[in-house]
């Protein structure tokens, strides 16, 4: 027998780590047999829907529910008055603030939840909503965060008046949420005062929305006979939801079952708890029957977690060669009416302090102030990795400004400042320890692939002809995999994650994790990790997530943390199984463990051909013939507390051509190199990249959530809210290098948010670059045709 070929064949049959294995999820989705929240039907199930505020800021004088209650088919109308006795008219948020479940004395933002109608079906519920009469008294509205802390600003949060100690710091104004700083202010200021060159750039990372194609919803079912509450819901963190629901309801966690079924995309929108969930649970407890709540698109965009809204000033101090000496960043963060920003509890500005980027910067200071405005809550969502989108945007934009001022090429200035390969692990001046990186190699690979020099020559020619061509370049460092429990927790729960793997007697596997996929392919890729570790084909490994009764406790999926944390737990749990398997193999082969070596799917006795036991043999033996004193069975659990984050990186380049008459931009080329260490499934990574780049295109080029002065949210449906179709979406070119994470069990880093984080400043970089020869240093997003045309007009470039 050709053992080399045989070994390769067995290796290939595993479909393990590194294979572009086809997805196990697909079979049900392509046949309409997924099971999403709104597919769920339960006996006696009623339908709930919200009465929402037409005003951004108003006192509620009265709510009259009589006509709604009189409508046949209506079972209940809940208002704050009903929730108050349960102390559920407000709920805690992940940011340590509270959020109104149903508006009590006043409304704080337009479309805010005011009353919950429960009816036989969604048609009757919609009718009943129209019959609820709410009398409002309008109040002055605050929408401009720059005016939030002025003396004339209206006080939004009357519930907090007099409470000047917030969850994160002292509040210096009634509309002030927190101040958070990192780095050394005085030392940074001193470097700026003495620097040869300094640049300063104001920029707005505008408010956008993750807008998953499936909106938020739930089916709450209180079984009053058995005292058990089951809630199916669109949650990216079902275990956390169970803990919170238990604490709020008084039901023991063992009596609360939260199930995240198939989720039609999350993108950070489905991390937190929304009033719709809470009110539906209360309705089910009151009525004793299941209650379904599914929001519509306009409600989703208007009231669930938005992203960004950071008003930033980036400053760099450097020498005349462009070597960076210091970074200073100031942020005004618009958090809306309640601080519901999803973050590890000690990081009110997330990981914004990764804003030193891929560069060796000796000293820096970051200052963030959060303020309340009459808008929906949120902030952290939409592939942001806890504000890393904003961090990467500010450093990449500001370094472009510096390059421009010094007349240094934007690739060259990055080369000069990169943290070098041999400097890793590298501790940044704002406190992260970057695990690994090889930025120079990645950059050169991209520049070669696109013929950067040729592009610059072409741009020179075009500029001479008065044409607008821009080249954008971003070299970013992500921070994903929250995180070490010494610094990272969600409402006090350390940000570990978990895996539980059970090998059956015949050698197939059931495994469950504490994360929850929303399309990222976990049911395929976790099986690949186990397959490679245990030598069992991934076809025979079933993966489940999302049911808090069955899966081990985990913190969920967001911040690209599944591979870094859940993936690590999976590998470690598999290794525990493998260690036991080795003992069983030694017992079966009557040799010492030291005499065994592992080969793909079996333990072999070293130097004795034919003396071997496959993992299948061992699995069977585990149930009938184990060494004396050993427990039967073959399974393991691991709760993995990561020693550090993972720091994937990328080099992105974009070429744009702008029509001078219309401001319409053509994305000619977009080249994305990502390095996320060991690649579990290249096909799935590529799909994550394509999706993330498309989001980045949407954010940079068209998406926005403008509020008018009265606090009306404009463009909150797909009539205006820009989601690109097949036609607008550019063609993507992807590439990679492999720089493994040294601390991760399989060397893998997270990646899913990298394309969103990295691409957005790349688009802006390209757009600004098209005007750079006219001394434009920055243009705020979105770069839609109208805004670009205004820029063209302001520069006097229009022919007429």
Active site residues: 236, 383-384, 753
Q: Does 668 bind another protein (CB under 8 A)?
A: no
- SS3 assignment, position 681: coil
Closer to another protein at the Cβ: 683 or 785? 683
Is residue 714 a contact point for another protein (CB under 8 A)? Answer: no
Question: Any contact of residue 276 with another protein (CB under 8 A)?
Answer: no
User: Minimum distance from CB of 292 to another protein (Å)?
Assistant: 11
DSSP run (H or E) holding 247: helix 238-249
| Separation of alpha carbons 103 and 106, rounded Å | 6
Our finding on whether 268 is near another protein (CB under 8 A) is no
**Dihedrals phi, psi of 2, to nearest 5 degrees:** -75, 100
Q: Which of 691, 711, 740, 750 binds another protein (CB under 8 A)?
A: 691
Candidates 41, 87, 624, 796: give the one binding another protein (CB under 8 A). 41
CA distance 703 to 716: 10
Task: Give the containing element (helix H, strand E) for 417.
Answer: helix 410-417
Q: How many CA atoms lie within 13 A of 279 on its CB side?
A: 32
Give the count of beta carbons closer than 10 Å to the beta carbon of residue 271: 25
Helix (H, G, I), strand (E, B) or coil at 33: coil
Structure-block tokens of residue 532: 């490679």
- Residue 296 as a binder of another protein (CB under 8 A): the answer is yes
Considering only the stretches 171-179, 351-359, 726-734, 767-775, report the one whose residues sit in contact with another protein under the rule CB under 8 A.
726-734
Joined tokens for residue 757: 């984080």
- Decide if residue 297 touches another protein (CB under 8 A): yes
Residue among 262, 343, 390, 545 that touches another protein (CB under 8 A)? 262
Per rule CB under 8 A, is residue 33 in the interface with another protein?
yes
Nearer to another protein, 189 or 733 (CB): 733
DSSP reduced 3-state for 528: helix
Question: What distances in angstroms separate CA 311 from CA 37, 144, 278, 390, 784, one per listed residue?
Answer: 36, 11, 32, 9, 19
For residue 782, whether the previous peptide bond is cis, meaning omega lies within 30 degrees of 0, is: yes
Q: Does residue 263 belong to the site contacting another protein (CB under 8 A)?
A: yes
Q: How many residues bind another protein (CB under 8 A)?
A: 57
Interface of this chain with another protein, residues 129 to 168, rule: CB under 8 A: none
Toward another protein, which CB reaches closer, 208 or 395?
Answer: 208
Selected from 195, 683, 785, 797, the binder of another protein by CB under 8 A is 683
SS3 content of the chain, % helix, strand, coil (to 5): 30, 25, 45
Among 796, 720, 721, 730, residue whose Cα is nearest residue 766: 730
Does position 362 interact with another protein (CB under 8 A)? The reply is no
How far apart (Å, rounded) are the C-alpha atoms in residues 277 and 219?
A: 8
- 499 DSSP assignment: E
- In the complex with another protein, the residue whose CB is nearer, 535 or 692, is 692
Q: Which tokens belong to 345?
A: 């509890």
Closer CB to another protein, residue 296 or residue 595?
Answer: 296
Instruction: Establish if 694 lies at the interface with another protein (CB under 8 A).
Output: yes
* DSSP string of 665-679, one letter each residue: EEEEEEEEEEE-BS-
To the nearest whole angstrom, how small is the minimum distance from the Cβ of residue 706 to another protein? 18
Q: Quick one: 644 or 716, whose CB is closer to another protein? A: 716
Identity of the residue, 99 or 302, whose beta carbon is nearer to another protein in the bound complex: 302
**Does residue 666 touch another protein according to CB under 8 A?**
no
* Window 518 to 557, contacts with another protein (CB under 8 A): 518-521
Opening angle at CA 630, ends 627 and 632, nearest 5: 100
Shortest spacing between CB 75 and another protein, in angstroms:
18
Residues at the interface with another protein (CB under 8 A): 22-23, 25-34, 36, 38-39, 41, 121-123, 211-215, 262-265, 267, 296-298, 518-521, 683-684, 686-687, 689-695, 717-719, 723, 725-727, 729, 731-732
């Amino acid at each position: 027998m050709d053992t080399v070929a045989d070994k390769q064949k067995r290796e290939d049959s595993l479909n393990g780590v590194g294979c572009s294995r086809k997805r196990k999820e697909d079979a049900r989705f392509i046949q309409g047999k997924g099971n999403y929240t709104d597919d769920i039907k339960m006996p006696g199930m009623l339908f709930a829907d919200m009465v929402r505020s037409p005003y951004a800021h108003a006192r509620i004088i009265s709510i009259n529910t009589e006509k709604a209650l009189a409508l046949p088919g209506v079972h209940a109308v809940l208002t704050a008055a009903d929730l108050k006795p349960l102390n559920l008219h407000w709920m805690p948020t992940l940011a340590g603030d509270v959020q109104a479940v149903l508006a009590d004395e006043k409304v704080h933002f337009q479309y805010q939840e005011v009353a919950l109608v429960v009816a036989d079906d969604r048609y009757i519920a919609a009718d009943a909503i129209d019959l609820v009469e709410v009398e409002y008294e309008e109040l002055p509205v605050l929408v401009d965060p720059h005016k939030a802390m002025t003396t004339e600003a209206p006080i939004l949060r009357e519930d907090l008046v007099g409470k000047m100690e917030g969850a994160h710091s002292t509040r210096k104004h009634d509309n002030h949420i927190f101040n958070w700083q990192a780095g050394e202010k005085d030392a940074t200021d001193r470097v700026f005062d003495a620097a040869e060159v300094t640049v300063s750039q104001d920029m707005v990372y505008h408010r956008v929305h993750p807008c998953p194609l499936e909106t938020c919803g739930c089916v709450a079912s209180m079984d009053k006979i058995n005292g058990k509450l089951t809630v199916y819901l669109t949650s990216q963190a079902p275990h956390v939801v169970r803990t919170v629901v238990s604490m709020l309801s008084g039901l023991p966690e063992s009596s609360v079952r939260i199930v995240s079924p198939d989720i039609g995309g999350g993108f950070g929108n489905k991390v937190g708890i929304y009033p719709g969930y809470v009110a539906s649970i209360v309705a089910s407890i009151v009525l004793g029957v299941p209650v379904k709540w599914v929001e519509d698109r306009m409600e989703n965009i208007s009231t669930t977690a938005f992203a960004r809204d950071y008003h930033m000033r980036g400053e760099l101090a450097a020498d005349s060669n462009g070597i960076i000496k210091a970074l200073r960043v100031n942020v005004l963060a618009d958090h809306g009416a309640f601080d519901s920003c999803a973050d590890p509890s000690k990081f009110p500005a997330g990981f914004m302090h990764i804003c030193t980027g891929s560069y060796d910067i000796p000293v820096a200071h970051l200052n963030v102030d959060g303020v309340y405005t009459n808008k929906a809550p949120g902030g952290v969502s939409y592939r942001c990795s806890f504000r890393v989108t904003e961090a990467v945007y500010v450093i990449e934009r500001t370094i472009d400004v510096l390059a421009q001022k010094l007349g240094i090429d934007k690739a060259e200035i990055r080369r000069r400042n990169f943290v070098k390969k041999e400097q890793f692990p590298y501790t940044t001046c704002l406190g992260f320890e970057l695990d690994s990186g090889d930025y120079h190699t990645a950059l050169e690979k991209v520049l070669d692939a696109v013929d950067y020099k040729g592009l610059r020559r072409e741009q020179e020619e075009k500029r001479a002809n008065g044409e607008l061509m821009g080249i954008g370049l971003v070299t970013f460092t992500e921070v994903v995999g929250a995180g070490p429990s010494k610094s990272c927790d969600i409402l006090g729960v350390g940000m570990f994650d978990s895996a539980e793997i059970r090998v059956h007697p015949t050698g197939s596997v059931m495994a469950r994790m504490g994360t929850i996929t929303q399309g990222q392919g976990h049911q395929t890729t976790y099986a690949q990790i186990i397959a490679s570790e245990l030598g069992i084909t991934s076809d025979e490994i079933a993966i489940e997530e999302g049911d808090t009764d069955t899966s081990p406790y985990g913190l969920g999926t967001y911040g690209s943390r599944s591979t870094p944390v859940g993936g690590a737990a999976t590998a470690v749990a598999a290794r525990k199984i493998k260690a036991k398997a080795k003992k069983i193999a030694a017992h079966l082969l009557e040799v010492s463990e030291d005499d065994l070596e592992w080969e793909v799917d079996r333990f072999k006795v070293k130097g004795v051909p034919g003396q071997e036991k496959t993992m299948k043999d061992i699995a069977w033996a585990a149930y009938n013939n184990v060494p004396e004193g050993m427990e039967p069975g073959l399974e393991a659990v691991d709760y993995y507390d990561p020693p550090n984050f993972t720091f994937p990186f990328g080099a992105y380049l974009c070429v744009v051509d702008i029509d001078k008459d219309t401001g319409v931009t053509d994305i000619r080329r977009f080249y994305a190199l990502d390095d996320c260490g060991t690649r579990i499934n290249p096909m799935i990574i590529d799909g994550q990249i394509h999706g993330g780049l498309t989001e980045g295109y949407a954010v940079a080029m068209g998406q926005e959530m403008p509020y008018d002065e009265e606090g009306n949210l404009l463009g909150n449906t797909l009539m205006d809210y820009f989601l690109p179709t097949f036609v607008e979406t550019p063609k993507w070119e992807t590439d990679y290098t492999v720089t493994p994470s040294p601390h991760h069990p399989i060397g893998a880093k997270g990646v899913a948010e990298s394309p969103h984080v990295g691409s957005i400043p790349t688009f802006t970089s390209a757009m600004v670059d098209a005007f750079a020869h006219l001394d434009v240093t920055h243009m705020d997003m979105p770069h839609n045709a109208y805004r670009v045309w205004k820029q063209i007009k302001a520069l006097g470039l229009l022919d007429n």
